[in-house]
Amino acid sequence: MKILVNAISARFGGIVTYTSNLMRSLDARGVDATFAISRQFPTEPQIKTLRFGASQYPALARLLWEQTVWRRDVAKHAPDVLFSSANFALFGSPVPQVLLLREGGLFDPFYLTNVAPTQGLKGTLMRNLRRTTMLLSAHRADRIITPTETMRQLLLNWSPRLSGKIFVNPYGTLARSFLPAHQPRAWRENGELRLLYVSVYYPHKNPGVLARATEALNQSGERTATTITMTLDELEAIRGSALDLLLLRRASERGIVTLGHHDYGMLPSLYQGHDIFVFPSVSETFGHPMVEAMSCGLPVLAADTAVNREVCGDAALYFDPFSAGSLMERIRQLDAIPELRLELGDRARKRILNLFTWDAHVDRLLDIFEDVRRTAATRENAP
């Protein structure tokens, strides 16, 4: 089976990690796969790639490019299956096509009510364009994949006709890399509670609530240090970040929040060096960092949303998304009950091994590809 993966949009964040891991997995399995990527994307020498500069184009120019130039390239390459891995599909694909829809906020009433209004008129126009194009893409794909049932239901609320071709394939993590520490950090080692939030910044990531909680805990005499893997430059570049920017800058200047990106390969040790993982994001389609933290056996506190509950189940505690007070209550609950911390960590690791391993995700993905290929071949051979 010959696979062509459209990952041209993979520039930063979770989709880069997803694409890199998929490259290695398909290569290790001997799958004939070619990846269409941006010119900036780093790759390993043995991976077959096609490089394009289209990821830098404005939205409308990019849409036109994909529906014309990219279509010709797909036809020339002639794969058995085209895997469009980032929300947008060819409207008239010359080959069978599987589409991964991974941007849930455009369809999420909570996001549209609480986050979208901060992004102004231009943001509204771009959201409407992206949502319309994603729905058009979904109707023209042979199969659609969502990483959670919650994301599937959000899509069906906007377009019930898609019900027959949406398949849920949860992401997974590299459970052999994201492991509990061989010698776990002592709780409040050196008298300091260490909190961690791993994410790139978008307004729905909601890091300000964690900064407020950290500040309030310190003011009450509960020594707390928080690591957030974002930068102030990152926040300054995005519309709708003003409050988060103010809160993170103030907490950083006071030395209670440490900001900055970390290489993917260093993340397991980063998780292992903290007491609690906090995930305040209010709109996700899956939430990779939650799964990574759970795989490391870290107690998780997550914003109370449908996706977060679907992913974490009973292996996390939940707090009101915009309430620093609610978050502080959960932090103090963990601080006070050692048995709860241990129980959550054990549940988390078991949940990952049962439901969210990377190999299982790839197995399901290849099964979908094969089913699409087989269906297309049957259709072609029909009298």
Per residue in 212-225, pLDDT tens? 999 999 999 999 99
Rounded to whole angstroms, how far apart are CA atoms 380 and 383?
8
Residue 352 Cα distances to 201, 325, 358, 366, angstroms = 25, 29, 10, 20
Q: Which of 195, 194, 88 is nearest to 144 (CA)?
A: 88
DSSP, collapsed to helix, strand or coil, labels residue 13 as coil
Does the pLDDT of residue 328 top 70, yes or no? yes
Report which secondary-structure segment, H or E, holds 276.
strand 276-279
Domain topology for 2-172+358-381: Rossmann fold (3.40.50)
Does the pLDDT of residue 78 top 70, yes or no? yes
**Looking at residue 51, what is its pLDDT?**
93
Q: What is the pLDDT confidence band of residue 155, given thresholds at 50, 70 and 90?
A: very high
The yes-or-no answer to whether 2-172+358-381 and 189-355 have a common fold is yes
Which residues are bridge partners to 197 per DSSP?
228
pTM of the full structure: 0.92
DSSP, collapsed to helix, strand or coil, labels residue 377 as helix
Does the pLDDT of residue 63 top 90, yes or no? no
DSSP, collapsed to helix, strand or coil, labels residue 319 as strand
What residue type is 114 in one-letter code?
Answer: N
Q: What is the pLDDT confidence band of residue 126, given thresholds at 50, 70 and 90?
A: confident
Q: Which of 171, 180, 131 is nearest to 17 (CA)?
A: 171
**Looking at residue 10, what is its pLDDT?**
81
List the chain domain ranges.
2-172+358-381, 189-355
pLDDT in tens, 159-193: 999 999 999 999 999 999 999 998 889 999 999 99
Average pLDDT (228-257) is 96
- Cβ-contact 235, 266 below 8 angstroms: no
* 189-355 CATH, one of 3.40.630.10, 3.30.70.260, 3.40.50.2000, 1.10.1240.10: 3.40.50.2000
Which residues are bridge partners to 146 per DSSP?
168
**Looking at residue 123, what is its pLDDT?**
84
Sheet holding 316-319, edge to edge: 257-259, 224-228, 193-197, 276-279, 300-303, 316-319
